[in-house]
Amino acid sequence: MAERSFSRWTLIWCLMLASWDSIANSLKQQPIAQSARKPNLIFILTDDQDLHMGSLSYMPLLKQHMGGYPKFVSQGFNDAYLPIWLQEAGYDTYYVGKLFNAQSTSNYDKPHAAGWTGSDFLLDPYTYEYYNAIFQRNKDPPTSYQGEYSTDVMAQKAFGFLDDAIEADRPFFLTIAPTAPHSNVHFNNNTAEQSMPRPAPRHRSLFQDTRVPRTPNFNPDVSSGASWILTLAKQNQSNLDYNDEWYRNRLRALQAVDEMIGGVVDRLERAHMLQNTYLFFSTDNGYSIGQHRRQPGKQCAFEEDINIPLIVRGPGVPEGHLTEIVTSHIDLAPTFLSLAGVADAQIAQYELDGSVIPFHLLDSLHSEQTWPQEHVNVEMWGIIMSEGEHGFVLYPNHTYKALRVIGDGYDLLYTVWCSNEHELYDMTKDPWQMDNIYVERTRSDNLAMPAAGFNDRPSSAASLASTEQILSSINVTTTLSHLLSRLDALLLVLKTCQMDECRYPWSALHPAGSVHSLRDALDSRFDEFYRTRPKVQYERCERGYFPASEGAMWDGSMSFRSMEHEVWIDP
C-alpha cells in the first residue's frame, strides 16, 4: 500500500482525467506567499503510473520532496493553449518529453508546437523505446539516442532547461513528461511490439520479491465486470509470475524518474528558488495488472485505471495533507493560470471546462462544501488491446460512458457500455468493484444492436431488475431505479458538456439553483422529472466517436425549468 506520509507535499488522489482524494491529518496551512516575483511552476507527468498497486511507495525521493498531435493542430489549439497563455502572463515556458501521441518524425514541424521558450519532444515511432528514443529540440532536426536510457537523457535535458530558466531570472513553467513506466513499444514493419518496461541497468536487480498486491479484485475466483471483462478466464500460475515480473519492471523503470525529481529539487534548493516554486506530480492515467482477471493494461473505468496521484508542493499548500475534493486533469490548466496571477475574468475567456483547485481550502473541514464538484466522467471508444505475452488480444466493443460520483455518504461508479450493459458499484461498501448492483438478466426483447464490423456480440444486454433496492449508504431513502434516473441524467449532461455545464451539471438540470449534489437531486419532488429524462444508451458499437450512434444528447430544453406544467417549477 502507498504510504500516506508525503513530507512537505499535499496529496490529491486524482480520478483519470480524473481525481478524488482521501482525507488525512494536515499541518497548519500558511497563507499563500505574496511575493513581488511570480511563482515558478513545474509539472512532472509520468505515463501509465498506477496508484492502487502502490507504485508511489517505491519513489522515496518524490515522497521526500514532494488525441493526438494532428488532431490538436487541425482544431486550432496550437494557437491557443496553456504555454501561449502563460507566455502572455510573463512566463518562460519549457517542455521535455512526450507532448502528444502521433507527434512523429514526419509531422513534428507541420507545424512546430507553439508556445515554448525551449522544448525537446519525444517523437513517434520511438516515443516508448527506452533505449532508442528520438528527441527533437526547439526547431532543430530530430536526434536519435540509440543505446542511451531515455529517462536519463530526459533528465539531463530537463536540468539544462531548468538551469536556463534560473539564469534568465524570470518566472517559468517547466513540464517534464517521461514515458516511464509505460510498456516498451518497438515498431517492426508497422507492427507495434509491446514488452515489459525497461529499467536503467543500475536498477535491474531491485525489488526481486515484490508482487502485484493481492487485493480482493485480483484474479478473482468469480469473474466480474461487464462486456469482454466478464468473459476473462482466471489466470494460471505462469501468467501470474509473468505479470509479477511486469510489475517489478514498472517499479524499476520509475527509479530513474524518482532520481530526476530529486535532481530538480536539488537545483531549486541551490538556487534558493524552491520556496517560490510549485511542483506538481501526476500521471496521464492509471494501470491494471490482474485486477478483474485483466492482463496488464488500462482504458477501463475501474478505479485502478482512473484513480491516479496528484501531488503538489508550493507556497501556501498545507504540508502532508490528503483531501477529499474531487478534481481532474482538466482542472490543471486553470489552476496553473491562477497561480501565475492570471485574473479569473481572463481565465474565463479561455473557455476551459475545469476549475481552479482551491489550495487555500485544503486544510478546511468545510472545503468539500465550498468545492462544487462531486463528479468525474470517463469515456472510451473503439477496441482495446491488453499488453504482455498473455494479453496480446484485441477486444472489440470497448466503448462506454462512465461516471464517478463522490459526496457526503456516497461513492459510486456508473457505467453504460455500447452493448447497453450497465455497471453500478457502491464503493462505500465495495471499494474493489466486485458487486455490480445493477442487476443483470436476459431479456430477448432488449438485445444489443449490431456492432460496427464485429459479430461477437453478447447474447443479452443488461437491464434493471423490477425489484427495487434500497441504497442505505447514501443515507437517504431511495430506490435503485430512482438513483439510476439521476445518474443517467447527470451522465447525459456530462457526455457533451462544455465549460459551466462540466463544472456545474446539476445547475444545467436545475437552473433555479436548488440542486447542487446527488443528495439534493434524490429529493422525491423530482422523481417524475428524472423518470422522464432520456437515458444514456447506444444504438451500436463504433470504433470511434460517432454521435449518431450514441443516443440522446443533452440540450437546455430538457432542464427542470423548461417543463411547461407548473408542477415542474423549481422552488
CATH of the domain at 288: 3.40.720.10
pLDDT tens, position by position, 14-60: 554 343 333 222 223 333 444 568 999 999 999 877 666 655 555 55
pLDDT tens, position by position, 340-365: 999 999 999 999 999 998 876 665 54
> Is the model's pLDDT at 91 over the cut of 90?
yes
Q: Which range is least confidently modeled, 156-165, 226-235, 401-410, 447-456?
A: 447-456
Q: pLDDT > 90: what percent of the chain? A: 65
Residues 359 and 379 in one domain: no
Q: What pLDDT shows up at residue 382?
A: 85
Q: What pLDDT shows up at residue 359?
A: 77
Residues 456 and 357 in one domain: no
Residues 344 and 464 in one domain: no
Q: What pLDDT shows up at residue 568?
A: 40
Q: What amino acid is encoded at 317 in this protein? A: V
Mean pLDDT computed over 241-245: 98
Question: Could you give the 3-state DSSP secondary structure of residue 336?
Answer: helix
Count of domains forming the chain: 2
| Burial class of 22 by CB neighbour count within 10 A (0 to 12, 13 to 18, 19+) | exposed
Q: What pLDDT shows up at residue 32?
A: 43
Residues 381 and 345 in one domain: no
pLDDT tens, position by position, 133-182: 999 999 999 999 999 999 999 999 999 999 999 999 999 999 999 999 99
> Is the model's pLDDT at 565 over the cut of 60?
no
Residues 396 and 353 in one domain: no
CA–chain centroid gap for 73, Å, is 22
> Is the model's pLDDT at 407 over the cut of 80?
yes
Residues 492 and 350 in one domain: no
- Residue 414 host element (H or E): strand 410-417
Given a contact cutoff of 8 angstroms between Cβ atoms, the answer to whether 383 and 543 are in contact is yes
Q: Which of 307, 328, 363 is the last residue of a domain?
A: 363
Distance CA 373, CA 515 (A): 13
Q: Is residue 139 part of a domain?
A: yes
The half-sphere exposure of 283 on its side-chain side, counting CA atoms within 13 A, is 26
Residues 494 and 405 in one domain: yes
Given a contact cutoff of 8 angstroms between Cβ atoms, the answer to whether 243 and 293 are in contact is no
Q: Which range is least confidently modeled, 17-26, 241-250, 253-262, 278-287?
A: 17-26
Q: Which range is least confidently modeled, 21-30, 36-45, 122-131, 278-287?
A: 21-30
For the chain, the average pLDDT equals: 83
Residues 345 and 480 in one domain: no
Mean pLDDT computed over 291-316: 93
Work out the pLDDT band at 424, boundaries 50, 70, 90.
Answer: very high
Work out the pLDDT band at 92, boundaries 50, 70, 90.
Answer: very high
Q: What pLDDT shows up at residue 391?
A: 80
- Residue 150 host element (H or E): helix 150-168
pLDDT tens, position by position, 56-86: 555 555 545 545 788 888 889 899 999 999 9
Residues 495 and 537 in one domain: yes
Q: pLDDT > 70: what percent of the chain? A: 80
Distance CA 407, CA 518 (A): 8
Q: What pLDDT shows up at residue 395?
A: 82
Residues 401 and 426 in one domain: yes
CA–chain centroid gap for 520, Å, is 27
Angle between helices 237-270 and 150-168 (to 10 degrees): 20
Q: Which of 301, 331, 363 is the last residue of a domain?
A: 363
Residues 345 and 414 in one domain: no
Instruction: Say what the pTM is.
Output: 0.85
Identify which of 91, 104, 93, 77 has the alpha carbon closest to the alpha carbon of residue 39.
91
- Higher-confidence residue of 504 and 566: namely 504
Residues 359 and 394 in one domain: no
Q: Is residue 4 part of a domain?
A: no
Q: Is residue 156 part of a domain?
A: yes
Q: What pLDDT shows up at residue 492?
A: 96
- Higher-confidence residue of 266 and 324: namely 266
> Is the model's pLDDT at 217 over the cut of 50?
yes
Q: Is residue 485 part of a domain?
A: yes
Torsion over CA: 142, 148, 150, 156 (sign)? negative
Q: Is residue 369 part of a domain?
A: no
Residues with Cβ within 8 Å of residue 376, at least 6 apart in sequence: 15, 16, 17, 18, 19, 20, 306, 326, 328, 403, 404
CA–chain centroid gap for 127, Å, is 20
Distance CA 552, CA 183 (A): 38
Q: Is residue 436 part of a domain?
A: yes
Alpha carbon of 220 to those of 214, 216, 290, 294: distances in Å?
A: 10, 7, 9, 10
- Higher-confidence residue of 522 and 320: namely 522
Q: Is residue 208 part of a domain?
A: yes
Q: What pLDDT shows up at residue 11?
A: 59
Whole domain around residue 225: which residue ranges?
10-363
Q: Is residue 309 part of a domain?
A: yes
pLDDT tens, position by position, 456-507: 333 333 344 444 455 555 555 678 899 999 999 999 999 999 999 999 999 9
Work out the pLDDT band at 409, boundaries 50, 70, 90.
Answer: confident
DSSP H helices in 37-136: 60-65, 69-74, 82-88
Q: What pLDDT shows up at residue 47?
A: 81
At 88, list the grid cell.
502572455
Q: Which of 336, 363, 390 is the last residue of a domain?
A: 363
> Is the model's pLDDT at 570 over the cut of 50?
no
Three-state SS string over 264-330 comes to HHHHHHHCCCHHHEEEEEEECCCCECCECCCCCECCCCCHHHHEEEEEEECCCCCCCCEECCCECHH
